[in-house]
Amino acid sequence: MIENKGEVLVGAIVVGIAIAFTVYVMQVAGISTGSSSYHIHAAFRSAEGVKVGTDVRLAGVKVGTVAVLSLDSETYKAQSTLAIDQDVLIPDDSSLAVASEGLLGGNFVEVVPGASFDYLAAGDEIVDTQGSISLIQLMMRFVSGNANK
């Protein structure tokens, strides 16, 4: 009987560690179980550095994530669906930009809020977008002397 108590205790510890690890991975990955969100759409000329799960930030605060990213075969633009936290209201004249955290950091989608008193609803589209700027292309323009193009 003593052996069974030891096995039960070790099993309980293993299950506890597995649950703690799962919660940690969900927090790091930004997977949320309780909060609801609404989806808005946007098309970018270049979504370089953006992938599903990339942060959407407003004033530096994470307000959502990129839920879907695909290529529109007619316009050759990156079509994205953004999952925005339900309690965040975004004016309907806002714009989106793909921004960088720094030279070595990753990219994120930045919401630049407008001044409208009307807000985006689920399924709406933000038309004013700015794609990512390639650091390599900027450096090549500088080196070749075509910095004004």
Predicted confidence at residue 16, as pLDDT, reads: 92
Q: Which domain holds residue 130?
A: 37-141
Per residue in 25-55, pLDDT (tens digit) is 877 665 655 558 899 999 999 888 889 999 9
Co-location of 46 and 64 in the same domain: yes
Give a yes or no: residue 147 inside a domain.
Answer: no
Q: Which residues, including other chains, have CB under 8 Å from residue 107's CB and lie 6 or more apart?
A: 48, 49, 50, 54, 98, 99, 100, 101, 132
CB 50 within 8 A of CB 67: no
Give a yes or no: residue 84 inside a domain.
Answer: yes
- Please indicate, yes or no, whether the overall pTM of this predicted structure exceeds 0.75: no
Residue 4 CA to residue 138 CA, distance in Å, equals 67
- Tell me how many domains the chain contains: 2
Co-location of 10 and 72 in the same domain: no
Co-location of 22 and 49 in the same domain: no
Per residue in 89-134, pLDDT (tens digit) is 999 999 999 988 876 778 899 999 999 899 999 999 999 888 777 6
Co-location of 25 and 91 in the same domain: no
